Amino acid sequence: MSNSEKARNKSRSQTLFVIINLFLTVINVWAAVQTLAIRNETLRLQELTSDYPPTMVVNPDFGYLGAPSLLSRSGDTVQTWHYGYMRIDLDVIVPHYGNVSIRLMGFTVGDSELLDYEKLNETEVSYVDEGSTYVVIVEPGVNHVVTNLHLMASIYPEPDKIPTRDQPRSLILGELQFEVELFDLQSKATILRKESSSKVVVVISEL
């Protein structure tokens, strides 16, 4: 290879190197600008929300616990256990970091021909992990939080009226009451507390 060809190849390599470096510099500058814009927007939202009182809107959906996962017979008594989820949407505006906790407060069972009337008061709906409380962290500003509470129901169907597996029946079991609490991590105080409720649906059938 002649000296002139070597020189041209060297020149091309240097030019390519410069172009690549210039391209990488542009990308880094663009990323830095985007990061700064996001940071400024976050600060702007924090400033805006700091002027408003904390706000929390609770939108529960019904809880669907489905068909029985377990069934037990003891004499004339049948007990079934059902597992599923209840979705609750939360819209929260806070000036500081905080957490939202959802605590189950009680359950009001409805009356139905499919349930053992003498054991209505023993119907229970709880978290699958008994005694637990659902907790989620919220950031300063506007938060839209979707929660799915993992629930379990223990019920007593009327033994003579349990549908077969191929003819199951859906039942609004009752009303689940819960409390949503907003805790401010900066002031270390509860700043909002709301009570709400929603229907719980199960499916009655043989296992």
Determine the Cα–Cα distance for residues 33 and 46; give it in Å rounded to an integer: 20
Considering only 11-15, 22-26, 133-137, which range has the smallest mean pLDDT? 11-15
Contact 80, 70 (CB under 8 A): yes
**Residue 8 in this model has a pLDDT that exceeds 60:** no
Residue 102 tokens, joined: 């959802």
Domain limits, the chain: 1-51, 55-204
Contact 28, 50 (CB under 8 A): no
Burial class for 200, CB neighbours closer than 10 Å (0-12, 13-18, 19+): buried
CATH class for domain 55-204? mainly beta
Single out the residue of 194, 199, 170, 166 nearest to residue 181, CA to CA.
194
**Residue 38 in this model has a pLDDT that exceeds 70:** no
**Phi, psi (rounded to 5 degrees) for 162:** -75, 120
The tens digit of pLDDT for each residue in 167-190 reads: 999 999 999 999 999 999 988 999
Specify the pLDDT at position 53: 81
Give pTM, 2 decimals. Answer: 0.73
**Residue 64 in this model has a pLDDT that exceeds 70:** yes
